[in-house]
Amino acid sequence: MGVTLMIDLVAPYETDVFVSELLQLIIDQFYALFGADIFIIYGMLGADVRLNALAAAGFVPVDWDAEDAENHYCRRAYPKGETHA
């Protein structure tokens, strides 16, 4: 099961530290809380802080071929090489 997560942050919170910590919370807790094996997050072009944090947290561009897939990034609960603690 997948979950689409909408994150709207006001400008003062769109910082490297805050976004990275928020994504780490998702990785650490949200998969189990929501029973999801994949999360999808929107990352608008030009939102460099968010896009860099998504990449650092292992989120990659979605791999489906659809018009609405543009600017969406996904991360599986346990990407290749990662195991459940």
pLDDT digits (tens, 9 = 90+) for 60-80: 988 777 666 778 888 888 765
DSSP the chain: -EEEE-----GGG-SHHHHHHHHHHIIIIIHHHHT-SEEEEE--TT-HHHHHHHHHTT-EE--S--GGGTTEEEEESS-TT----
Rounded to 5°, the CA angle 16-55-45 comes to 80
Q: Are 36 and 77 in contact (CB under 8 A)?
A: yes
- pLDDT at position 46, please? 84
Residue 18, classified by CB atoms within 10 Å of its CB into exposed (0-12), middle (13-18) or buried (19+), is middle
Domain spans of the chain?
2-76
Q: What was the pLDDT predicted at 80?
A: 56
